[in-house]
């Protein structure tokens, strides 16, 4: 999944390629992004509540088409092909090879 208008947060770990789909007002989303920063990962994020309704609808449709799931927040997209919906730290640690 490739998106435009994402914001890059740089870290020492640049692999895998990570994208967080989030809401700016979501506490779980904020915790998820803080977790990635604390672990030293580079990642991109997009706050869907801060883009146009048309762009938001297109992203939701693309997500549903690619992953056959409805978008929920936060969502972590790993290398454009694997996803984790919701921030459950142990799941994120496991998928990112931290445990």
Residue 82 lies in a domain: yes
Residue 1 lies in a domain: no
> pTM for the full model?
0.93
Residue 18 lies in a domain: yes
Residue 2 lies in a domain: no
| pLDDT per 10-residue tile (average), the chain, 99 residues | 84 96 97 98 97 93 91 95 95 95
Query: Domain range spanning residue 78?
Result: 7-95
CATH code of 71's domain: 3.40.30.10
- Report the number of distinct structural domains present in the chain: 1
The DSSP result for the chain, as a single string, is ---SS-EEE--SB--S-EEEEE-TT-HHHHHHHHHHHHTTB-EEEEEGGGS-HHHHHHHHHHHHHHHSS---SSEEEETTTEEEES--HHHHHHHTT--
């Amino acid at each position: 999944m490739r998106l435009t208008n994402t914001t890059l947060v740089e870290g020492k770990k640049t692999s895998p390629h990570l994208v967080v789909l989030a809401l700016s007002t979501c506490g779980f989303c904020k915790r998820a992004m803080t977790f990635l920063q604390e672990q030293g990962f580079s990642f991109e994020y997009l706050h869907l509540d801060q883009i146009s309704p048309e762009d938001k609808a297109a992203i939701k449709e693309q997500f549903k088409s690619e992953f056959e799931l409805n978008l929920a927040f936060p969502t972590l997209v790993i290398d454009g092909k694997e996803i984790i919906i919701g921030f459950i730290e142990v799941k994120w640690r496991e998928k990112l090879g931290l445990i």
